[in-house]
Amino acid sequence: MEPRVRAKWAQDSVNSLGALRGTASTIAHARVRAETIETIRSAWPMGWLDVAPMLEVDDAICVALGSRAYEAHCRAAIAKAFQWPLLAPLLRTTLRLFEGSRTAPLRMLPDAFGLVFRDCGEMKSSVRPSDTVITLTLAPPIIVASPAFRLGIQAAIGATLETIAFRHSITIEAGADRLTFVVKY
């Protein structure tokens, strides 16, 4: 199976591309093919789309903005996505079930990942006293190779913890078919 993403997620990436201005817009648009944008725009939002077109757009935006600005951009986009009918109930339920737990939102990440991505690897979250390790195993090469994908997951972790105003730091380790995110408290 090819790695896939909800088309809505990819369409939000295309909208972000269109919102870029100045030099960042010029740099990003030069890296994205017109047929990629058309493929994404024409997809049914709740349907599944090959992940490659979205990564083409996201990697172009990442290059144009730089890693730090791209990660901040993703955090804002993910915080907005938490309002979607697909993700909002999961976040509300998790926060209600684990009220008072600093790490509760991290427990929902594998489920949220499965709602947005298919055949992009298996995500697991391991909560420990001083940190949480989130591992994406069996990830296809296109996923592991994408700087934007790594920063997007890091941003998702950050945005999730920001829902409860929790201070943290995140480090990323990449392997052949694995991404590991270590969240220190």
The confidence score (pLDDT) of residue 60 equals 98
Give the list of residues 6+ apart from residue 87 with CB closer than 8 angstroms, or none: 81, 112, 115, 116
- Report how far residue 27's alpha carbon sits from residue 133's, in angstroms, rounded to the nearest whole number: 35
The confidence score (pLDDT) of residue 175 equals 93
The confidence score (pLDDT) of residue 97 equals 73
Cβ atoms of 124 and 135 within 8 Å: the answer is yes
Task: Say which DSSP state 129 is in.
Answer: S
Cβ atoms of 156 and 112 within 8 Å: the answer is yes
Across the chain, which has 185 residues, the per-10-residue mean pLDDT values are 95 96 97 98 97 98 97 89 75 72 80 93 92 95 97 91 79 94 92
Is CATH 3.90.1520.10 the classification given to domain 4-184?
A: yes
Give the list of residues 6+ apart from residue 38 with CB closer than 8 angstroms, or none: none
Domains of the chain, by residue range, sit at: 4-184
The confidence score (pLDDT) of residue 73 equals 94
